[in-house]
């Protein structure tokens, strides 16, 4: 049984263009209204009712014999569970009331148990196995469904099957606790105003103060990054950085160690020595050896660049502090600060200077405008009561036909207890067979004063996931949008990542906000040049995360913290004793176990996809072809074929390695 996929990142004060957008036709939410959960009791009631109905559907489906139409009925069953489970699974991450979040989490675990049972249901499995597909889409959908049944342990002897279920439920519970520890962390780091010299005034003004008048800073992105990039005092940056590195705390290290061990036990039930071997056989990468080889190639390609970057930072630090180079070492908490200084010095780019150009609400309109230009769709705001008064709903329609195709919810700003990275929950899949429309929610955490260009890029990345859901046009909900291979799912998002550094693309900002001041062309050019700078060390960091995740899930059963200290210790900047990065590494504790390499793997695909847009990123003809061959297809065809359909040739890593070598 598949579970809902999550892909893990009022008018603003600046610019008064927003209310005008409502003047469009009185559009409505496409698909069902978002369920209104005000109390924990409502969540529990909905949970009970949803599970009761789902169990009745399993009983009905068990009676259905194998047939060419079986997969359609299985998909209808899946859709019904998604309707009951999807919004509840999602609000556990964003609802402002902690009691509602707790109730949603408890419900989530009951659903995970249900999904495991359904996937271990031998009657359903037999019917799936005996059903004969009528065409390639049915064949692929049945193949994927059979994999899910088999990977849940339906074919194991009863005792091992029970063990698989027990392990699976326990892993869900521990993963949930891990994420909760990060999300509900109320860490505040206290600083005097003197400590915060160099930090933008807005951060100080927004901060709460303790009895001694010290500013209490949280670890949310709009607070964390300005301190790391701008605080003149190394001690201030170190204190902030250490607090961030310890988010999740020792409790999460224990959870992660247990999760990794349970995953290995799970793989062993199926005759695999490691969880990586077990899980990678279903991915584009196919096995641990291919993944390791790929990561080694990346490492080779970035080693020199990383060394060069650090030498540059070291020089900048020596100059800044007026001390000899041989007495200067770069620390982890120096990286963002001196990178920012060098960006300013070499490229005269100051990230903070972009905020006035990119107010948050208008930035959202802007990324939607990009989609409208490239893909022939239209985003229209619609009234809706959602989980928080600031959350917004949009109807998506096809521009040529006016046909409503999907809905998108958006939650832009940080608040306590809210998921603190950027992510999209595709909580409802679409199906052309039943006329079911997809719905998704995009959750980000931006500064109300505006976005930097890097943050605008992050927004477009997440929006890329939302598009994958919004423009899905698959036969079955099972394959809708982001329900695709985990090492492909980032590609459509990453493809759009350099769009905001394009002059022509940025001109669209004035379409959605005529009163916003246009970003000068030369500033965009500089930002693009500055972006290339440090790509060696940035990619090396991604390589470290991916290698750590893979090593954690290999046969050797390493202890996570010791493994991390060793692996980070082997990098040029080393490991800072006392820190525990893995305690906050929610990807690995959650659904990305032995899957983090997928970010780099997908980037290879993304850069290859980009080559088709090299002459004009907004080309509507190429956009249309991309929408039809890739985005609309979700997971109903293998990713290799989608890319081949779009590019007219086999996939190639050339663009990626050329970029790293440049």
Residues that bind Zn ion (CB under 5 A): 490, 493
Residue 494 or 633: the one with the smaller Cβ distance to Zn ion is 494
CA-nearest of 203, 218, 230 to 448 is 203
Residue 603 or 643: the one with the smaller Cβ distance to Zn ion is 603
Smallest separation, CB 425 to Zn ion (Å): 12
Count of other CB atoms within 10 angstroms of residue 293? 12
CA-nearest of 516, 497, 494, 453 to 602 is 494
Smallest separation, CB 287 to Zn ion (Å): 24
Distances (CA, A) of 594 to 177, 274, 288, 439, 563: 19, 10, 9, 28, 15
Residue 334 or 490: the one with the smaller Cβ distance to Zn ion is 490
Smallest separation, CB 177 to Zn ion (Å): 24
Residue 493 or 547: the one with the smaller Cβ distance to Zn ion is 493
Distances (CA, A) of 262 to 164, 255, 268, 424: 10, 10, 10, 27
SS (H, E, C) 88-124: HHHHCCCCCCHHHHHHHHHHHHHHHHHHHHHHCCHHH
Residue 233 or 421: the one with the smaller Cβ distance to Zn ion is 421
Residue 7 or 583: the one with the smaller Cβ distance to Zn ion is 7
Q: How far apart are CA 286 and CA 284, in angstroms?
A: 5
Smallest separation, CB 138 to Zn ion (Å): 29
Count of other CB atoms within 10 angstroms of residue 322? 6
Residue 120 or 493: the one with the smaller Cβ distance to Zn ion is 493
Residue 199 or 606: the one with the smaller Cβ distance to Zn ion is 606
Which strands make up the sheet holding 189-191, listed edge to edge?
189-191, 215-217, 208-209
CA-nearest of 320, 352, 337, 305 to 523 is 352
Smallest separation, CB 373 to Zn ion (Å): 22
Give the residue closest to Zn ion by C-beta: 493
Smallest separation, CB 493 to Zn ion (Å): 5
Radius of gyration, CA atoms only, the chain: 24
Smallest separation, CB 197 to Zn ion (Å): 35
Residues 6+ apart with CB under 8 A from 7: 423, 424, 425, 426, 465, 482, 489, 490, 493
CA dihedral 401, 407, 411, 412 (to 10 degrees): -10
Residue 142 or 630: the one with the smaller Cβ distance to Zn ion is 630
Q: What length does the chain have? A: 662
Count of other CB atoms within 10 angstroms of residue 574? 14
Mark 180-200 as b/e (b = at least 16 C-beta within 10 Å). Answer: bbbbebeebbebeeebbeebb
Helix (H, G, I), strand (E, B) or coil at 32: coil
Count of other CB atoms within 10 angstroms of residue 328? 17
Q: How far apart are CA 110 and CA 172, in angstroms?
A: 10
Residue 560 or 584: the one with the smaller Cβ distance to Zn ion is 584
Residue 97 or 490: the one with the smaller Cβ distance to Zn ion is 490
């Amino acid at each position: 049984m598949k579970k809902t996929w999550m892909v893990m990142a009022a008018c603003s004060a600046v610019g008064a263009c927003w209310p005008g957008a409502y003047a469009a036709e009185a559009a409505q939410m496409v698909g069902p209204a978002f369920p209104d959960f005000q109390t924990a009791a409502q969540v529990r009631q909905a949970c009970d009712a949803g599970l009761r109905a789902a169990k009745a559907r399993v009983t009905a489906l068990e009676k259905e014999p194998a047939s060419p139409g079986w997969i359609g009925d299985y998909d209808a069953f899946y859709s019904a569970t998604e309707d009951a489970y999807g919004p509840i699974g999602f609000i556990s991450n964003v609802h402002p009331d902690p009691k509602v979040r707790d109730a949603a989490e408890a419900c989530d675990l009951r659903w995970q148990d249900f999904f495991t049972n359904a996937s271990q249901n031998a009657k359903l499995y037999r019917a799936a196995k005996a059903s004969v597909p009528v065409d390639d889409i049915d064949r692929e959908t049945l193949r994927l469904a059979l994999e899910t049944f088999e990977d849940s342990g339906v074919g194991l002897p009863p005792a091992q099957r029970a063990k698989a279920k027990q392990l699976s439920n326990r892993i869900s519970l521990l993963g949930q606790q891990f994420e909760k520890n990060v999300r509900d962390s109320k860490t505040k780091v206290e600083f005097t105003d003197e400590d915060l010299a160099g930090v933008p005034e807005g951060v100080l003004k927004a901060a709460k103060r303790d009895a001694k008048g010290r500013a209490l800073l949280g670890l949310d992105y709009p607070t964390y990054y300005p301190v790391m990039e701008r605080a003149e005092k190394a001690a201030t940056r170190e204190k902030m950085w250490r607090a961030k590195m310890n988010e999740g705390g020792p409790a999460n290290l224990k959870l992660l160690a247990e999760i990794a061990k349970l995953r290995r036990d799970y793989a062993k039930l199926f005759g695999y020595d490691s969880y990586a071997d077990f899980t990678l056989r279903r991915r584009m990468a196919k096995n641990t050896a291919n993944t390791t080889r790929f990561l080694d190639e990346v490492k080779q390609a970035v080693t020199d660049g990383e060394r060069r970057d650090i030498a540059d930072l070291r020089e900048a630090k020596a100059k800044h502090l007026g001390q000899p180079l041989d007495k200067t070492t770069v620390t982890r908490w120096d990286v963002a600060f001196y990178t920012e200084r060098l960006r300013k010095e070499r490229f005269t780019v100051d990230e903070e200077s972009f905020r006035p150009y990119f107010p948050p609400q208008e930035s959202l309109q802007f990324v939607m405008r990009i989609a409208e230009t490239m893909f022939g769709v239209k985003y229209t705001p619609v009234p809706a009561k959602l989980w928080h008064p600031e959350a917004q709903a949009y109807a998506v329609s096809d521009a040529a036909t006016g046909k409503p195709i999907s809905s998108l919810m958006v939650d832009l700003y940080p608040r306590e207890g809210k998921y603190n990275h950027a992510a999209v929950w595709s909580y409802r899949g679409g199906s052309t067979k039943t006329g079911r429309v997809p719905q998704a929610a995009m959750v980000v955490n931006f500064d109300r004063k505006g976005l930097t260009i890097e943050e605008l890029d992050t927004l477009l990345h997440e929006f890329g996931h939302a598009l994958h859901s919004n423009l899905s046009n698959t036969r079955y909900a099972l394959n809708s949008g982001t329900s695709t291979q985990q090492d492909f799912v980032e590609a459509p998002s990453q493809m759009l990542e350099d769009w905001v550094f394009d002059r022509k693309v940025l001109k669209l900002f004035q379409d959605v906000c005529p009163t916003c001041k246009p970003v000068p062309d030369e500033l965009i050019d500089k930002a693009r040049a500055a972006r290339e700078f440090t790509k060696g060390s940035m990619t090396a960091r991604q390589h470290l995360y991916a290698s750590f995740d893979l090593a954690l899930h290999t046969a050797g059963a390493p202890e996570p913290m010791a493994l991390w200290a060793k692996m980070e210790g082997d990098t040029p900047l080393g490991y800072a004793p006392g820190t525990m990065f893995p305690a906050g590494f929610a990807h690995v504790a959650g659904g990305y176990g032995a899957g983090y390499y997928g970010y780099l793997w997908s980037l290879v695909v993304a850069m290859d996809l980009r080559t088709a847009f090299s002459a004009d990123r907004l080309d509507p003809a190429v956009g249309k072809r991309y929408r039809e061959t890739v985005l609309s297809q979700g997971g109903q065809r293998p990713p290799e074929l989608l890319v081949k359909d779009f590019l007219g040739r086999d996939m190639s890593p050339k663009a990626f390695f050329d970029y790293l070598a440049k």
